[in-house]
Structure 1
Amino acid sequence: MTFSIVGFDPETKELGIAVQSKFLGVGAVVPWAKAGVGAVATQSYANTSYGPKGLELLASGKSAQETLDQLVSEDEQGEYRQVGIVDANGNAATFTGEKCYDWAGGITGENFAAQGNILVNEETVTEMGRVFLETKGTLAERLLLALDAGQAAGGDSRGMQSAAILVVKEKGGYAGFNDRYIDLRVEDHPDPIKELIRIYKLQQLYFAPTKEENILEITGEVREELVDQLVRFNYLERSQVDDEALFEAITTYIHTENFEAREQEKGKIDREILEYMRNK
């Protein structure tokens, strides 16, 4: 009752999984990944030991296919399982046990494995693969668009409930202390993939680095609008608008709204912060 796509980006070395299911909190069960090692999606009567065991086997030097073969062969109920694996070289493998409920199956391609069970149709899986290969953008964007395309093509025959995305890369986590670059979950929602995409966009707003072309000088019309917005949100009184008061108000706003990752040197602001203020 789940469909997923596991992928690798050879340029950034990111590894990740996107998944949707008619199942509460699918993100706590299916996706497993470790930077520089690989990514595993374990589903259909999911054996969650496939996650850590699979990553351990990959880290020991086994390929995606070798890892998958060993996991299934050591599992007495392997024919109930479904698994997708991508290793740190982009090699992919997928497995669907004979006792998985129809429609069930998977495909592999360059740097990805896509699979699902209890689906409306095979196109759910083939569309995920097609969109992943044809889409430009970050690994997370490609995984999310592929997942959304799978739903549009048919999806889980029992409906929708939860979705998740996990992307890892070296020092990609908060402040660089771990590899969890993107780790987002929608636990229970009538349209979990759309909600996951919305949350992903928020995650990028808060934590993605500022693009050079978005750094604005706080002068002229930018300064006037920024003052208007800070007054509107009660961070500034119009009678206090000197440069120092403006800088203090901007700093307070940024720290209150958790935009520290986009904070600029004095006299400059990230365009996306100003747009956020404008649209809030």
Structure 2
Amino acid sequence: MTSDQGPIVQSALLRSELVRLRKAKKLTQEQVARQLEWSPSKLIRVEGGKNAITRTDLQALLGVYDVTSEERQERLQALARGAREPAWWNAYRGEFDPGFLNYVAYSAGAAYIRQFHGTVVPGLIQTPEYADVLSTSKATERARGLAVKLRIQRQEELAKRQNPPRQHYIIDEAVIRRHVGIRIDPGIMPAQLNHIADTSERDDLLTIRVIPFSAGAHPGLDGPFSLLEFDGDLDDVLYLEGRPGASVMVSGDDDKIPEYRDTFEVLREHALSADESIALMRQAAEDLMA
């Protein structure tokens, strides 16, 4: 049994299940470590994601937890193998904010991505030309090229997955009215809008909705955010986008997560329907070409 959720999510899923199995047996970390003749710190590092787990060590843990089903053992071993695989985003280490790359890692394995943005098209639905214009503030041509490459590779890697995630984006009308790229090529923004409309029409897993100016003020004006959900027993992740080094990612029982789930539903109520949003984007593309 294989998974294509990426090493970070597979590691998190494995660790979550191992902790749950231990607690179901009413065992402490110290008791498990004593049975296996491990140091307590070894199990703490394994459960905390600081250490990769070998096939032998995982089999030993499953023995302590009385996991005898071959199917379940193989599923957990598959997660362990996946967790040890190199991550494609490692090529960008040292080039981008570590917090953002951590978000990239989790979004690569998400089952459901929800995002609101009020100023630009979300990265996972940007065209290369649009992404290039947004990257002009980078200090060097190399940094600019890497920024575009990362955005497009994220799209390509999600598309490769056997079970790609559902994606639901809500954007403000300001996003589709700003003529990004007008000084370079007036066709960049219209092409971007038609790309979004075309993609959403042919992809049942992709929904894009626009909050029109006529809706007035709305909670999204506080800033962009993303919510990630996962298959399996893994907590949701919330990513609050800010300037480099100022973004925040939280998970677990943080109160912000249900708060932003509610915010997304409020934004959905403010937004046009998917069909109305596509029609508005196509009209905006025509207006920008006029």
With normalisation by structure 1, the TM-score equals: 0.27
Higher relative contact order (CA 8 A, sep 6+): 2
With normalisation by structure 2, the TM-score equals: 0.26
Structure with greater strand percent: 1
Structure with greater helix percent: 2
